Amino acid sequence: MALKKRCDCPTSPKCEHPWYYDFRVEGRRFRDSTGTPNKKVAKDIEAATRTRILKEGVGILSYTPTTLRAFRPQFLKAYVELKLRKSTQERYQMCWQRIEPVLGGKYLSEFTEGTLGAYASDCLKSGDKPATVTLDLALLACMLHRAEDWNLIAKAPKIPKLTFNNAKDRALSPEEVKLLLEAYDTHKDLRVRRHHRVIKLLALTGARVGEILGLQPSDVTHDAMTFRWTKNGEPRTLPVTDEMRPLLKALPIHVNYNALCATFRKVTKALGWEGVTLHTLRHSALTIMGESGMPLRTLQEISGHKNLAMLQRYTHPSQESKASALRNLGHILVTTTKGTAA
């Protein structure tokens, strides 16, 4: 048995990087992060891991050694392409581009909670956002659970959960939305102008990107459209307005999600905006409707949120609207007080 650190710190082995174990059982090599810089704790983890492997013995060694990279084609063909919608497939592809260089060559049986925790920690230290790392962990969890289902590993490891606040505070004003749509409509790049229809539908409906891209001809009538690929799995029907009708004539909308993100970043960068994503359009639409005085229950039916608490994360009253509400309150109270005094 052996413990070692893989960093080049001048203070190693007393640095804060984790210890790694590396040993063989019946000719099979096992190596992974212990997830701790404490050598005594690392030794205990190494011993416990070795004991577990020896107890399960033949059960572990009977599985055909398969790397994550080698497993991916089977995962795509037997699961992703059959059961997941296009937007999810494209998101998984983006996650894989980050995962593959780091973990692609690792055997499925070598993945542990410590492995995944070390990957998440390294990503966060390199500047990746917690939401991005969470998506990567979701893909890894999906792959490892399929590997368990298909008897390629004994058991999928527990996936570490990151705690973070992913509430989005940025919402575009009506004037900014109009400016964005104009920028798309008049852009010199034809690829950008082709995405104008999707951007306008997102702004007019407050729907998610996947819901718009997933629309089929059978989902839309003259007066209504039904989103069948929703986040909570429940279909949602919205009225079709005069502004939406011409945008919904040709379905499905053949737009690549990655390309849509790329053109959106290009346009918003040219406008000098930071912290604005495609999902900001959903925030913006719901906020604008909320500030117009729309009842929250109606807004909930449009957004598809199961409870009002979730909806409140997507609505952002401006300082002006809050000041107006307080002025109205003061006017009501002062008027009532004067009337009572008279």
Domain extent at residue 115:
65-166
Supply the CATH number for residue 96's domain: 1.10.150.130
Average pLDDT, the chain: 86
Q: Do the Cβ atoms of 267 and 275 come closer than 8 Å? A: no
Q: In Å, how far are 14, 17, 35, 51 from 42, measured between CA atoms?
A: 13, 12, 8, 14
> Shortest CA distance to 253 belongs to which of 285, 217, 280?
217
Q: Do 233 and 278 belong together in one domain?
A: yes
* Distance separating alpha carbons of residues 321 and 292, to the nearest angstrom: 9
Q: Do 182 and 221 belong together in one domain?
A: yes
Q: Is 267 within the bounds of a domain?
A: yes
Q: Do 314 and 178 belong together in one domain?
A: yes
Q: Do 130 and 258 belong together in one domain?
A: no
Supply the CATH number for residue 208's domain: 1.10.443.10
Q: Taking 70 as the threshold, does the pLDDT of residue 337 lie above it?
A: no
Encode pLDDT of 50-75 as tens digits.
Answer: 877 776 654 444 556 789 999 999 99
Q: Do 81 and 46 belong together in one domain?
A: no
Q: Do 43 and 113 belong together in one domain?
A: no
Among 28, 62, 96, residue at a domain's last position:
62
Q: Do 98 and 182 belong together in one domain?
A: no
pTM over 0.75: no
Q: Do 308 and 179 belong together in one domain?
A: yes
Encode pLDDT of 275-293 as tens digits.
Answer: 899 999 999 999 888 888 7
Q: Do 260 and 210 belong together in one domain?
A: yes
Q: Do the Cβ atoms of 191 and 259 come closer than 8 Å? A: yes
Q: Is 58 within the bounds of a domain?
A: yes
